[in-house]
Structure 1
């Protein structure tokens, strides 16, 4: 089978991005995407097996970076885990804020899809790292609020310059994180 011509595949991805941003992932059909590109639904299906495959390809670079952050957090505890997680997640969210905006409000539903199930586990490990890998409720709450708040803020301020958004988010994260000892005595099991 012949591969998609780069411009057609790119046009489909660009149209999917615009439609997902305008009407949400659930609110967008393959026919909507095909209409925007000016091709048939069959053409879209020739290039992408289904709508999930389109979203998977659009999110692939962000997911790859999230997996790299997850790997960098392995074995870290206490403040080292918090700082690495905060810096890494802020960088990731700022860099991929347009992708975050595409799935805004639909993230919980998307995590139930098999293609994205591993993201839920990574998110939980990231939350634990932001909490310094402790079971302390205040640390866990602060970590969860930061994850949700950083994501939502990045989706809201997609056009804010990185040089303004990143420092504001890092300053907020540093203020919000529950301080933990360098080597916490109540480390979570990973």
Structure 2
């Protein structure tokens, strides 16, 4: 049996990203991806154990940056914590906005998959950082809205230039977050 061409791996990833963006993760089958690439489902499974592994590889760079941000915010407190968290998350969301867009409204369901379960804890720590470790409901609500709003805005404005999107998101985030005392 001839080995698949080396470029097939990348072609499968690109096709999966396109299909997930159009029909969603749940609405896309491995057969759909294979058809778009022009290969068999067996070829897709040669490169990826399953659809979850495909999504995992697509999201791996963004997850690595999110994990690094989680480590970075651990050493900060107060207003510095809020600034580092907001700046870091905006940078991440702008850089990976195409990945955010392809997940669309399926993000809560994807967090149930074992490969993504730790992202829920990181999200909770980000909300805590955005709230400046405050237990006040208003601070926590603002933190949640800002975090979700940044992600949604990046998905919506996927074609905006970085140099316009980033400062706009930062301005909104810094205005919306309650200062810590």
Structure 1 residues 172 and 42: alpha-carbon distance in aligned structure 2, compared to 1, 3 A threshold: same
Greater helix share, 1 or 2? 2
Give the conservation status (yes or no) of the 8 Å contact 1:94–1:166.
Answer: yes
1:29-44 equivalence runs, <5 A: 29-44=29-44
Note the residue ranges of structure 2 that are not aligned, 5 or more in a row: none
CA distance in 1, matches of 2:66, 2:5: 29
**Structure 1 moving runs of 4+ over 3 Å:** 2-6
Question: When the two structures are superposed, what TM-score results if normalisation uses the length of structure 1?
Answer: 0.92
Paired residues in the alignment total 180
Structure 1 residues 3 and 128: alpha-carbon distance in aligned structure 2, compared to 1, 3 A threshold: farther
CA distance in 2, matches of 1:135, 1:4: 55
User: In terms of mean alpha carbon deviation, does 118-127 or 73-82 score higher?
Assistant: 73-82
CA distance in 1, matches of 2:163, 2:120: 29
Which residue does 2:21 correspond to in 1?
21
CA distance in 2, matches of 1:159, 1:123: 25
Note the residue ranges of structure 1 that are not aligned, 5 or more in a row: 182-190
Which residue does 2:125 correspond to in 1?
125
Give the conservation status (yes or no) of the 8 Å contact 1:4–1:47.
Answer: no
For the residue of structure 2 that corresponds to 1:70, the secondary structure is: helix
